[in-house]
Structure 1
Amino acid sequence: MSPNPSKPVFRFRSVFISDIHLGFRGCSADYLLDFLHSVECDTLYLVGDIIDMWSLKRSFFWPQEHNNVIRTILGKAKAGTRVIYIPGNHDAVFREYCGMVFGNVEIHREIVHENADGRKFLVLHGDEFDSVIKASPILEALGNRAYAFILKLNRYVNFFRRAFGAPYWSIAAFLKHKVKNAVKYIANFERALADEAKRRNLDGIICGHIHRAEITEIDGITYCNDGDWVESCTVLTEDDEGRMSLLRWTEQKQVVAHTGMVAALPIGQAA
């Protein structure tokens, strides 16, 4: 699927994307390029694991599509979009440059985002909280080489699903939702980040890291995870009224979660 810059452009106040994993063979750069060419926003947040330095160290992989993602993001920054980059654990090397600006891209360790409706959200990658949560064996198994194998298998599965008109389906996401230890890990992760937002007297938190898109309320705190561009191809958006929505950007584009009213985006039905 190639991006079409002439297609109608959707506008958001803010867009949050993370876990792109450029340099990793499982990266869905084609879908991401299509999304980036389809939207405009005032602020674009890159919430960590944009470049997968871990994968690049094991085996160098950098196709033209990955170059195009970088060029498109830099092009948006040059054209006036405020671009904020918060490095994650896979691109932690860039944390050395927090507080600096390169190519109109601001680098921060974390930042507080204020919605149009006045709510304040802490934005960070989220890997910091792995040190206080015991990672489950299934998530460790889904990481690194085993994770890459599952994603490769996933591509074959979805090739046949598309041939029969079936929607995209993620094996890794299915395992995360069904395996008891993984479900417990995710719940603990969400709780820990919500507690951090509450400790700082904020209204919510926005993160990535665990590759599970979600918008939920935890003890009065709005927890938002923007997902990833490896398994789910999801993005978190804020409209001009401050409403947050999760969009899935695959063959069947759709609003998958929202707070308040459904975002006015004619690409599918709300889940």
Structure 2
Amino acid sequence: MTTQQVRSIFLSDIHLGTKACQASQLLEFLKAYSSENLFLLGDIVDLWAMSRGGVCWSASQNTFVQKVLRRARHGEKVIFIPGNHDEAMREYVGTSFGDVMVESEYIHTASDGRRYLLIHGDEFDQVTLHHKWVAVLGDIFYNLLV
């Protein structure tokens, strides 16, 4: 398989640590594409599910984390913007973990000069903002179904 070079990859809602995580398919995707920029746009690790004792961490999830860190170490810009499921990481905005930068938002300039605001988007979810218990309850039921 040949690797296709792209300028940027945008990933969100991976939910590492859960049964629903499709890390094997994600690894195939990352093998197929190399990039200058890798943007992780929230809910990469599902701390909500993990805090309830439902940790399901596979070898492919470990491999995914290692692959992201390796790409960062080899010069790919990796930006992590926490979402609601990994919101505990918001405490580290402005910090770098190795070569992975944690940001609350990021302005990405496309090759044609257009600028895009990168965020997770949970800050616009009225249920998550004002009735978090409803969001958590929905998450519990979702995880029971998958």
If the length of structure 2 is used for normalisation, what is the TM-score? 0.89
**Candidates 117, 125, 129, aligned match of 1:122:** 117
Aligned ranges 1:10-159 → 2 under 5 Å: 10-58=4-52, 59-131=54-126, 143-150=138-145, 152=146
The answer to whether the Cα contact below 8 Å between 1:29 and 1:65 also exists between their aligned partners in 2 is: yes
- How far apart, CA to CA, are the structure 2 residues paired with 1:54 and 1:37? 29
* Higher RCO (CA < 8 A, seq sep 6+): 2
Three-state SS of the structure 2 residue aligned to 1:88 is coil
- How far apart, CA to CA, are the structure 2 residues paired with 1:40 and 1:34? 12
Deviation of the 1:134 alpha carbon: 9.2
- How far apart, CA to CA, are the structure 2 residues paired with 1:132 and 1:65? 32
- How far apart, CA to CA, are the structure 2 residues paired with 1:134 and 1:68? 33
The answer to whether the Cα contact below 8 Å between 2:123 and 2:129 also exists between their aligned partners in 1 is: no
Aligned length: 142
Three-state SS of the structure 2 residue aligned to 1:143 is helix
The verdict on how the C-alpha distance between 1:32 and 1:133 changes in structure 2, with shifts beyond 3 A counting, is closer
The answer to whether the Cα contact below 8 Å between 2:40 and 2:80 also exists between their aligned partners in 1 is: yes
* Cα deviation 1:229-263 (Å, max 9, x = unaligned): xxxxxxxxxxxxxxxxxxxxxxxxxxxxxxxxxxx
The answer to whether the Cα contact below 8 Å between 2:9 and 2:37 also exists between their aligned partners in 1 is: yes
Three-state SS of the structure 2 residue aligned to 1:12 is strand
* Cα deviation 1:49-87 (Å, max 9, x = unaligned): 000001111122212111111000001001111000001
* Cα deviation 1:206-240 (Å, max 9, x = unaligned): xxxxxxxxxxxxxxxxxxxxxxxxxxxxxxxxxxx
The answer to whether the Cα contact below 8 Å between 2:42 and 2:120 also exists between their aligned partners in 1 is: yes
* Percentage of identical aligned residues: 42
The answer to whether the Cα contact below 8 Å between 2:45 and 2:85 also exists between their aligned partners in 1 is: yes
The answer to whether the Cα contact below 8 Å between 1:13 and 1:41 also exists between their aligned partners in 2 is: yes
- Provide structure 1 residue ranges, at least 5 long, that are not aligned to the other structure: 1-6, 153-271
Deviation of the 1:26 alpha carbon: 0.6
Question: Residue 8 of structure 1 corresponds to which residue in structure 2?
Answer: 2
Deviation of the 1:100 alpha carbon: 1.1
Equivalent AA in structure 1 for residue 34 of structure 2: E
The answer to whether the Cα contact below 8 Å between 2:127 and 2:135 also exists between their aligned partners in 1 is: no
The answer to whether the Cα contact below 8 Å between 2:128 and 2:135 also exists between their aligned partners in 1 is: no
Deviation of the 1:42 alpha carbon: 0.5
Deviation of the 1:18 alpha carbon: 0.3
Deviation of the 1:103 alpha carbon: 1.6
Higher helix proportion, which one?
2
* Cα deviation 1:159-184 (Å, max 9, x = unaligned): xxxxxxxxxxxxxxxxxxxxxxxxxx
- How far apart, CA to CA, are the structure 1 residues paired with 2:128 and 2:69? 35
Equivalent AA in structure 2 for residue 110 of structure 1: E
- Provide structure 2 residue ranges, at least 5 long, that are not aligned to the other structure: none
The verdict on how the C-alpha distance between 1:76 and 1:60 changes in structure 2, with shifts beyond 3 A counting, is same
- How far apart, CA to CA, are the structure 2 residues paired with 1:25 and 1:130? 24
If the length of structure 1 is used for normalisation, what is the TM-score? 0.49
Equivalent AA in structure 2 for residue 91 of structure 1: D
Equivalent AA in structure 2 for residue 78 of structure 1: R
